[in-house]
Amino acid sequence: MQLLRASDLGREVIDEIIARGSYEVVILSRGTQAADLPKGVAWRQVDYDDKSALVDAMKGIDTVLSFLAMFDQNEALELHKKLIDAAIEAGVRRFAPSEWASASNSGVAHYQYKDEVRKYLEEVNSTQQPGMFTDYFGHPRAKTKHFGTFYMFADFQNRRAIIPEDGNAPITLTTLRDMCRLVAQALEYNGVWPTVGGMQGTAFTVSEFIALAEKLRGPFTVEKISNEDLETRNVTTSWYPVVEHHALPDEMREQVSKGILVEYIAALKRGVWTVSDEWNRLLPDFQFTSAESYLKDIWV
C-alpha cells in the first residue's frame, strides 16, 4: 500500500501510481476528503498531534511519500518529525521526505527545513531529487495537470534570463512527468532505496541551457547578478519572476519573489541545482525526456 500526503505535486505522482496499478494509494491529510478524489484512492483524515491515531492510520503502509509544502520552516520540520515518528512505530518500510528539488544541504533559505528533516531521519530515510523541473521553463504553456508552474530565472515566453556571473554552473532539469513515472516505478523496486535518490533528466551548465533556449526561441536578453549583489541580496535586474505558489500570501509575494530569485541564483552559483544519478543507475531502462525534447515540443 502506498501513502501520500496530498498536494498539487502529490496529485501528479498519484496519477502515475494509479496508471501502473501495482500499489494501492492512501492519502493522509489534515483536511476533509477532496471532492475530486480519484477512483480507487483512499483518504484518511488525521490529526498530527494525535500520535496514536497517526500510527494507526499508517499501519499496513509500505511506503510514505511526503509532499508537505509550506513557508513556515518550523511548522514544516515539526510536522515531518511527527510523520517520521509515527511511520517508524507503524513499521513503514520506506519514507521519502518532501525533498523533490535540489541537492541536499543546498543553502536555499526556504529549503532549510528539508535538511533538518534529513538529519532527523534514521531508520527509514530515502530521498528523491530531480533537480529543477523542466516544466517551469514551459510556463505558461506547461502541460502539467495539477502542479502549478511559474516563471523561473529563464523566461522562454519573453526570451529573457537572469543568471549568475559564472555561466559554467551546473544544473539538472527533469520533467515533472518523468519524476512521477520514476517514483511509481521505484515503488516496485525490491532493492534498498538509496539514501540520496538523485535522478537526472538532462545535466548541463547554465550557459549550455541558455544556448538551448536561444536555439529554440531566438536571442535572449540575459542579465547577470554579481557575486556582490548575491551577498547583499540586492536585486537590480529589470524584472524578476513572480512566485505564484499557493502557500504564499499575496502581501508577501514581491518580497518573497525577489528573495527566492537571489536564493535560486546563489544556489545555481554553488551548483546545488545539479543532482546525482542514483535512480538512473538503479533503473537503467527508464527513458527520460530530454530538456530539449520537452521544450521543443512546447515552444517550436
Q: Are residues 28 and 158 in the same domain?
A: no
Q: Are residues 116 and 164 in the same domain?
A: no
Residue 244 is given by DSSP the state -
Q: Is 104 part of any domain?
A: yes
Query: Which of the pair, 282 or 121, is modelled with greater confidence?
Result: 282
Provide the pLDDT confidence category of residue 107 given band limits of 50, 70 and 90: very low
Cα torsion 107, 147, 120, 63: sign: negative
Q: How many domains does the chain have?
A: 2
Q: Are residues 158 and 182 in the same domain?
A: no
C-alpha–C-alpha distance, residues 220 and 210, integer Å: 8
Digit-coded pLDDT (tens) for 37-95: 888 899 998 998 999 999 999 989 999 888 876 667 778 788 888 888 888 888 888 88
Give me the chain's average pLDDT, please: 86
Q: Is 194 part of any domain?
A: no
Burial of residue 207 (CB within 10 Å: 0-12, 13-18, 19+) is: middle
Query: From residue 234, how far is each of 40, 152, 201 by CA, in Å?
Result: 50, 18, 32
Residue 71 is given by DSSP the state S
Q: Are residues 180 and 161 in the same domain?
A: no
Mean pLDDT of 132-140: 95
Q: Is 193 part of any domain?
A: no
Q: Are residues 161 and 181 in the same domain?
A: no
Digit-coded pLDDT (tens) for 255-287: 889 998 998 899 899 888 889 999 999 999 999
Q: Is 195 part of any domain?
A: no
- What SS3 class is residue 26? strand
Q: Is 218 part of any domain?
A: yes
Q: Are residues 155 and 14 in the same domain?
A: no
Provide the pLDDT confidence category of residue 26 given band limits of 50, 70 and 90: very high
Q: Are residues 26 and 64 in the same domain?
A: yes
Q: Are residues 141 and 28 in the same domain?
A: no
Query: Which of the pair, 159 or 36, is modelled with greater confidence?
Result: 159
Q: How many CB atoms lie within 10 A of CB 138?
A: 21
Determine the structural domain holding residue 119 and report its residue range.
Answer: 2-130+176-186
Query: Angle 73-90/112-120 helices, nearest 10 degrees?
Result: 20
What percentage of the chain exceeds 70 in pLDDT? Answer: 87
Domain with 77 in it: what CATH number? 3.40.50.720
Q: Are residues 61 and 122 in the same domain?
A: yes
Domain with 218 in it: what CATH number? 3.90.25.10
As a three-state string, the secondary structure of 159-195 is CEEEEECCCCCEEEEECHHHHHHHHHHHCCCCCCCCC
Q: Is 196 part of any domain?
A: no
Q: Are residues 28 and 102 in the same domain?
A: yes
Give the pTM: 0.77
Q: Are residues 157 and 290 in the same domain?
A: yes
Q: What is the pLDDT of residue 170?
A: 94
Residue with grid cell 516496485, as numbered in its chain: 188
Q: Is 75 part of any domain?
A: yes
Digit-coded pLDDT (tens) for 147-189: 888 899 999 999 999 999 988 999 999 999 999 999 999 989 9
The C-alpha cell of 181 is what? 513515472
C-alpha–C-alpha distance, residues 68 and 13, integer Å: 14
C-alpha–C-alpha distance, residues 169 and 205, integer Å: 5
Residue 288 confidence (pLDDT) above 80: yes
Q: What is the pLDDT of residue 118?
A: 64
Residue 122 confidence (pLDDT) above 70: no
Q: Are residues 228 and 125 in the same domain?
A: no
Cα torsion 116, 281, 101, 82: sign: negative
Q: Is 19 part of any domain?
A: yes
